[in-house]
């Protein structure tokens, strides 16, 4: 019997402001690869580590109670756990790893709170594997906020204020690494999925080897 395996792990990141549709797109991509018997896992940040749980509690309670630097530490510590326990082992095992948010969110969101984006990047790049592709789903801030209000039936929390998200968006716009792929987030869910899929298929091409068992 023969089976198809990847010659190396592949890291795919989905980024964007709140309401951009990252989570929906990450799941659609996961299902698509899984259906094609490609070894794939999905994960998200913040995670459910002790640090990630603290972040979620703070997001609900209000960020005024915490300094940006202290909040930044929580995101970095959460990511260290994530990289060591899940991301690196899965990449080593030759899987496709799909992440809903990664350190580009820290550059953009904590950068928009006044921390230095270049310092954030440098500290994260010490322990974070770089992605093969980082999709930034682009939508106007106003659409993101409206989607949160309408679809989730909730008022945007403190992470999601319009002016703040404008600044976050501007930092996402400034990222220009060779693995960044900007995706137009307007239009239907399937339409956006297809835009992402074209790039992922190109990325996966030639990454398979046939194994005789
Ligand atoms: P997320 O889980 O994507 O939000 P949701 O509640 O919609 O599922 O992320 C929670 C918030 O955390 C989001 O507003 C972005 C913010 N965030 C940062 O500020 N820095 C980071 O490094 C990450 C990963 C997220």
Tokens, residue 191: 């339409």
- Other Cβ atoms less than 10 A from the Cβ of 54: the count is 16
Task: Return the pLDDT at 53.
Answer: 96
* pLDDT for residue 148: 81
Testing ligand 1's pocket by substitution, the residue of 16, 20, 27, 46 carrying the most ligand atoms inside 8 A of its CB is 46
CA of 53 to the centre of ligand 1 (A): 12
Closest Cα to atom 11 of ligand 1: 159
Spans of the chain, pLDDT less than 70: 1-4, 152-160
Supply the pLDDT for residue 54: 95
**Looking at residue 169, what is its pLDDT?**
97
Q: If you measure from the C-alpha of residue 8 to the centroid of ligand 1, how many angstroms do you get, rounded to a whole number? A: 29
**Residue 105 near residue 15, CB atoms below 8 Å:** yes
Q: What is the pLDDT of residue 18?
A: 92
Residue 156, pLDDT score: 56
Cβ(109) – ligand 1 distance below 6 Å? yes
> How far does residue 109's CA lie from ligand 1's centre (Å)?
8
User: Is 185 touching ligand 1 by the criterion CB < 6 Å?
Assistant: no
Q: Who contacts 94 (Cβ-Cβ below 8 Å, separation ≥6)?
A: 5, 6, 7, 8, 9, 39
Based on the number of CB atoms within 10 Å of its own CB, is 112 exposed (0-12), middle (13-18) or buried (19 or more)?
Answer: buried
Strands in the chain per DSSP E: 2-6, 10-15, 40-44, 96-100, 133-138, 180-184, 208-212
Q: Note the pLDDT of residue 3.
A: 64
If you search the block for the tokens 């395996």, which residue do you land on?
5
* Cα angle for residues 200, 29, 166 (degrees, 5° grid): 90
C-beta 101 within 6 A of ligand 1:
yes
The answer to pTM > 0.85 is yes
């Amino acid at each position: 019997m023969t089976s198809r395996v990847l010659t190396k792990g592949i890291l795919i990141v989905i980024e964007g402001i709140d309401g951009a549709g990252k989570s929906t797109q990450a799941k659609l991509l996961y299902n698509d690869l899984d259906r094609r018997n490609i070894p794939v896992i999905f994960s998200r940040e913040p995670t459910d580590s002790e640090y990630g749980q603290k972040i979620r509690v703070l997001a609900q309670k209000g960020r005024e109670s915490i300094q940006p630097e202290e909040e930044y530490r929580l995101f970095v510590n959460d990511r260290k756990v994530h990289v060591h326990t899940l991301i690196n082992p899965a990449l080593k095992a030759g899987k496709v790893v799909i992440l809903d948010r990664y350190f580009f969110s820290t550059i953009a969101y904590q950068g928009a709170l006044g921390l230095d984006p270049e310092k954030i990047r440098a500290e994260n790049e010490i322990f974070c594997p770089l992605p093969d592709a980082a999709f930034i789903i682009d939508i106007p801030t106003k659409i993101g906020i409206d989607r949160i209000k309408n679809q989730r039936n909730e008022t945007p929390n403190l992470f999601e204020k319009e002016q703040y998200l404008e600044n976050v968006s501007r930092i996402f716009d400034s990222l220009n690494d060779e693995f960044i792929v900007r995706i137009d987030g307007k239009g239907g869910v399937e339409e956006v999925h297809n835009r992402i899929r074209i790039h992922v298929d190109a990325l996966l091409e030639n990454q398979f080897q046939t194994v005789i068992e």
